[in-house]
Chain A
Amino acid sequence: MFYRENGQFKTSYRADQQILPIRQDRIALGLILLIAFVAVPMFASDYAFRAILIPFVIMALAALGVNILVGYCGQISLGSGAFMAVGAYGAYNFFARIPGMPLIPALIMGGVCATFFGILFGLPSLRVKGLYLAVATLAAQFFSDWMFLRIKWFTLDSSSGSVSVNQLQVFGFPIESAVSKYLFCLALLVVIALLAKNLVRGAIGREWMAIRDMDVAASVIGIRPMFAKLTAFAVSSFIVGVAGALWAFVYLGAWEPAAFSVDQSFRLLFMVIIGGLGSIMGSFFGAAFIVVLPIFLNQFLPLFLGLFGVEISTAGIAHAELMIFGGLIVWFLIVEPHGLAKLWSTAKQKLRLWPFPH
């Protein structure tokens, strides 16, 4: 009834090609941004910021990066944790070695380091495909684990191999309080998400998708596979690298290579698959699912079982959390193999017809 485009006429190509052609979508997005930037900081607790919202925002950014590579260009990657690590340690080295280095350029330089690393480990994608490529990118993961554990230069000869940052600030504003950290990450996420959305809508995004759908046909119509694949690796690892730097700088504060282990790579891949391959929106859903759900289960289960007078041990909760989480993943993949983003678009489709479906 309310969500339909009747009467919205487009009179120019510009209007027809905008990101959100339907007015209601634009209003909804404006509202979401308003809530994210204004309402959430007013009402959320310190815990919600530090333990849920900040990790969610950063992981959404990382999932966005992975989605460009896996979802849009079809190159399965298990090296996302490595790209995050390179971003984090790259940013750290720029931040700690250059006196007076501001935070944002350090983060961007971290992303640039990850870009080169990504291109380097993207080279095998020119020859191998699918699962073989996944195994090849796994090499990036093991290489980065080794590199940051054993090459002391990267950790500034820290004896324990753990590094830390503090006193972050942007344009003189300290990034110490939970709200400022959240807003900083959110602002970066919005800017990068907008850039990514425009990239995937443009010529280069179409090249990626053509390569994903059928690389032989794509090269026949004049798309250079090397260029398309390597740009996908570059853009994806830049975003993942910035997310890794944020994860280290803003969320953890002090970290070791184990923070970017192969588990992290798998989690990111799950986010993208559950959220929806080839969908910017899906990255957000996937990140929410993987980051928030375990924490939610962990806190909700004791309360829920408490209603029935059942006491459950900490270990019991941890095991139940893993079982329910695993079960939900399987369930979601069966009922909606295209991810949560597909559910979202189905819901939108239904909303258009509501309340008078055919």
Chain B
Amino acid sequence: MKIRHLMLAVAAVVAGASTLSTSAFAQAKEQFFPLLSYRTGPYAPNGVPWANGKQDYLKMINARDGGINGVKITFEECETGYATDRGVECYERLKTRPGVTAFDPQSTGITFALTEKAPNDKVPLITLGYGLSVAQDGMAFKWNFPLMGSYWTGADILIQHLGKKEGGLDKLKGKKITLVYHDSPFGKEPIPLVQERARMHGFDLQLLPVTAPGVDQKAAWLQVRQSRPDYVLLWGWGVMNSTALKEAQATGYPREKMYGVWWAGAEPDVKDVGEGAKGYNALALNTSGQEPKFIQDILKHVHAKGQGSGPKDEVGQVLYTRGAIISMLTVESVRRAQERFGKGKVMTGEQVRWGMENLVLDQKRLDALGLTGVMQPLSTSCADHMGSTAARVQTWNGSKWSFSSDFIQADEQILKPMIKAGADKYLADKKMTRRAGTDCQS
């Protein structure tokens, strides 16, 4: 009995001490990268390579360049398990560290919660290819950066590609397109855009939600079997993707007519299905493979020294590369901020935000960074927090992904008014106002 009480008391004291002692502040000497990740749970197969890529790129910058203009990078990972409340806890834990740079929440749900918090804490959110689609409007969302694409641009590119396949967008009239989506903000985000496109081109849109995490999809695929759509758009993540492909195989739905978003187009999604996924298409924001120079650098400076975060043969996979790109963009934002606020200094979240808003990565710069051909050039501005909307379609041939289309740009004509309206509604709901033009200089 006594020992038990003693242990309880000790546990209570240690818990109290550890929570109260974190308030000590120190002058930042290092640029701190908080890394939210999930290596457990139903989304772990996709979360792990993503997290490894983010981490390895930072290690590589430290090992190869000695940091950003001499400023060493430190980082710490925090496991969210894709759960919003744990994600918020991680954010609160890491945001107070000295020299905190930017957050990549790795989850749409966490992004929504952090969007409310980031402006108060003055730390930018980088949500590459996910998050809040209307956040492209930098005048309304000062702290959100959906770089390189959002669900709306993704959906738009897919519909354009289908139009091209049919020989013109007007040929889509009367066709049946089914959206099989993860029933969460992640899966629901593209719906308004696909509906808008359906109105414009006159195709039938069928919406089939799949309850998270997506292990049970029998009902949805039964409906696919009944309605026999011309195309299926797959908006899945994690275990939902491979399950959908297996269900399609069981239903006899041709994989060639299935198109996934870029979150449904990585190795973990198709590997287990193997031959059964042959012909399946998905969007690609970036290339995969170990050929690009920056991946080679990671192999040379990190993995060769035994400091890699994951198995060596997974380096350069689709999601790994995307994670590395996210870290690269954050590092480049710091570098850009240093150009204005002082080279070799630690940047604050506000300064990094400026850097992210004034990021210019043209082809020359990408070549210098060793990312030739990996991604499209990108340049952000005050009004445009996305920088580039181009993506390609890739096809799984049973053993690897290969590109099956050119780069397609999302249609500004359609996106712009929708983003404007959505951002205005968001601001009106929150009783907030747009940033003034003068705010762009800050």
Check A258–B84 contact: CB distance below 8 A. Answer: yes
Which single residue of chain B is at the shortest CB-CB distance from A295? Answer: B89
Whether A253 touches B93, Cβ cut-off 8 Å, given contacts A258-B84, A317-B79, is: no
A276 CB, min distance to chain B CBs, angstroms: 14
Beta-carbon contact of A314 and B37 below 8 Å: yes
Contact B430 A167 (CB under 8 A): yes
Chain B min CB distance to A332 (Å)? 10
Determine if B184 is an interface residue (Cβ-Cβ < 8 Å).
yes
A169 nearest CB across to chain B (Å): 12
Of B113-121, B237-245, B380-388, the one contacting chain A is: B113-121
Is B431 part of the binding interface, using a Cβ–Cβ cutoff of 8 Å? Answer: yes
- The answer to whether B39 touches A45, judged by C-beta atoms less than 8 angstroms apart, is no
- Please pick, from B39, B189, B211, the residue contacting A318 in the complex, using a CB distance under 8 A: B39
Contact A160 B39 (CB under 8 A): no
Interface hub of A55, A166, A319 (most chain B Cβ within 10 A): A166
* CB-based contact A319/B85 at 8 Å: no
Binary B-proximity of A18-62 (CB < 8 A = 1, otherwise 0): 000000000000000000000000011111101110010000000
Verify A318–B84 contact, CB threshold 8 A: no
A-B CB pair tally, cutoff 8 Å: 128
Give the residues in chain B near A120, CB-CB below 8 Å: none
**What 0/1 readout, one digit per residue, does chain A (245-264) give for beta carbons within 8 Å of chain B?**
00000011111101100000
Give min CB distance, A330 to chain B, whole Å: 15
Complex: A295 Cα to B85 Cα, angstroms: 11
Q: Are B84 and A252 in contact (CB under 8 A)?
A: yes
Contact of A46 with B96 at beta-carbon distance under 8 Å, contacts A164-B116, A317-B79 already known: yes
Query: In whole Å, how far is A323's beta carbon from the nearest beta carbon of chain B?
Result: 12
- A43 touching B20, Cβ below 8 Å: yes
Q: Does B109 contact A (CB under 8 A)?
A: yes
Closest to A55 in B: B85
19 chain-A/chain-B pairs, Cβ below 8 angstroms = A45-B20, A46-B23, A47-B22, A47-B96, A51-B92, A52-B19, A149-B209, A159-B422, A160-B132, A160-B185, A161-B185, A252-B88, A254-B116, A258-B184, A298-B79, A314-B37, A314-B51, A314-B77, A343-B8
Q: Does A203 contact B (CB under 8 A)?
A: no
Interface residue B313 (Cβ < 8 Å from any Cβ of A): no
A98 within 8 A of B: no
Q: Is the Cβ of A47 less than 8 Å from the Cβ of B185? A: no
When the two chains form their complex, are residues B112 and A160 in contact, meaning their CB atoms are under 8 A apart?
yes
The answer to whether the Cβ of B129 comes within 8 Å of any Cβ in the partner chain is: no
Given the complex of chains A and B, what is the CA–CA distance between A251 and B117 in angstroms? 10
User: CA–CA, A298 to B89, complex, Å?
Assistant: 11
Q: What residues of B have a CB within 8 angstroms of the CB of A317 in the complex?
A: 79
The interface residues of chain A lying within 8 Å CB-to-CB of B51 are 314
Question: In the complex, which of the residues A52, A253, A315, A347 contacts B39, with contact meaning CB atoms closer than 8 Å?
Answer: A315
A335 at the interface (CB under 8 A from B): yes
Q: How far is the CA of A55 from the CA of B89 in the complex (A)?
A: 9
A159 to B430, CA, bound (A): 16
Which A178-219 residues have C-beta < 8 A from chain B?
A: none
User: Is B26 engaged at the interface, CB distance under 8 Å to the other chain?
Assistant: no
CB interface residues, B 72-130, toward A, < 8 Å = 77-79, 81, 84-85, 88-89, 92-93, 96, 108-109, 112-113, 115-117, 120
Known: A47-B19, A47-B96. A254 touches B39 (CB 8 A): no
Q: Annotate A229-256 by CB proximity to B: 1 below 8 A, 0 otherwise.
A: 0000000000000000000000111111
Interface residue? B413 (CB, 8 A): no
In angstroms, Cα B19 to Cα A319, docked, is: 22
A160-B189, A162-B112, A256-B112 known; A45-B40 Cβ under 8 A: no
